[in-house]
Structure 1
Amino acid sequence: MTLDQQSSAVPVAAPAGAVGGQVVVIAVTWNSAAVLPGFLASLAEGMDGVDDWRVVVADNASADDTVAVLHELAPDAQVVQTGRNAGYAAGINAALAACDRATTRAVLISNPDVRMRPGCARTLVEALDTPQPDGSRTGIAVPVLLEEDGSVFPSLRREASVATAFGEAVLGNRRAGRFPRWGEMITDPAAYTRPTRADWAGGALMVMSQSCLDACGPWDESFFLYSEETEYCLRARDRGYVTCLAPAAAAVHLGGDSRVSPRLFTLLTLNRVRLYRLRHGAAATTAFRAAVLLRELSRAALGREASRAAARALLSSRRLAEKPGP
Structure 2
Amino acid sequence: MIAVVVVTYNSQRLLADLIDSLGPGLDGVDWHLTVADNDSADDSVAEVLRLKPDATVVEMGRNAGYAAGINAAVAKSGPYTAILVLNPDVRLTPGCIHPLLETLRKDGTGIAVPLLTDGDGELIETMRREPAIRRVLADAFLGAGRAGRIGTLGEMITDPARYGSETVADWAEGSTQLISADCWNAIAPWDESFFLYSEETDFALRARDAGFATRFTPVARAVHLEGDSKVSPGLWALLTINKVRLYGRRHHRLATTAFWAALLLRETSRAALGKAPSRRAVRFLLSPSRLRETPGPHTVHGRQA
Shorter-chain-normalised TM-score: which range? over 0.9
Shift of 1:192: 1.1
Pairing 1:222–2:186 present: no
Q: How does 1:1-326 map to 2 (within 5 A)?
A: 22-50=1-29, 52-100=30-78, 103-131=79-107, 137-321=108-292, 323=294
Shift of 1:83: 1.0
TM-score, with normalisation over the residues of structure 2? Answer: 0.94
Letter in 1 for 2:209: D
Partner Cα distance (2:17, 2:152) in 1: 39
Shift of 1:93: 0.5
- Give the secondary structure class of the aligned counterpart of 1:203: coil
Cα RMSD, aligned residues only = 1.2
Shift of 1:41: 1.1
Partner Cα distance (2:109, 2:246) in 1: 23
Distance 1:225 1:296, change over 3 A: same
Letter in 2 for 1:235: R
Identity over aligned pairs, percent: 56
**After superposition, what is the alpha-carbon deviation per residue over 1:56-88, rounded to whole angstroms, capped at 9, x for unaligned?**
000111110101111111111100111111000
Shift of 1:244: 0.5
Shift of 1:322: 5.7
- Give the secondary structure class of the aligned counterpart of 1:259: coil
Gapped regions of structure 2 (runs ≥ 5): 296-305
Partner Cα distance (2:228, 2:160) in 1: 25
Letter in 2 for 1:25: V
Letter in 2 for 1:265: W
How many residue pairs are counted as aligned between the two chains? 295
> What residue number does 1:5 align with?
none
Partner Cα distance (1:121, 1:317) in 2: 44
TM-score, with normalisation over the residues of structure 1? Answer: 0.88
> What residue number does 1:16 align with?
none
Tell me if structure 2 keeps the 8 A contact 1:196–1:246: yes
Tell me if structure 1 keeps the 8 A contact 2:100–2:112: yes
> What residue number does 1:3 align with?
none
> What residue number does 1:15 align with?
none
- Give the secondary structure class of the aligned counterpart of 2:122: coil
Gapped regions of structure 1 (runs ≥ 5): 1-21, 132-136
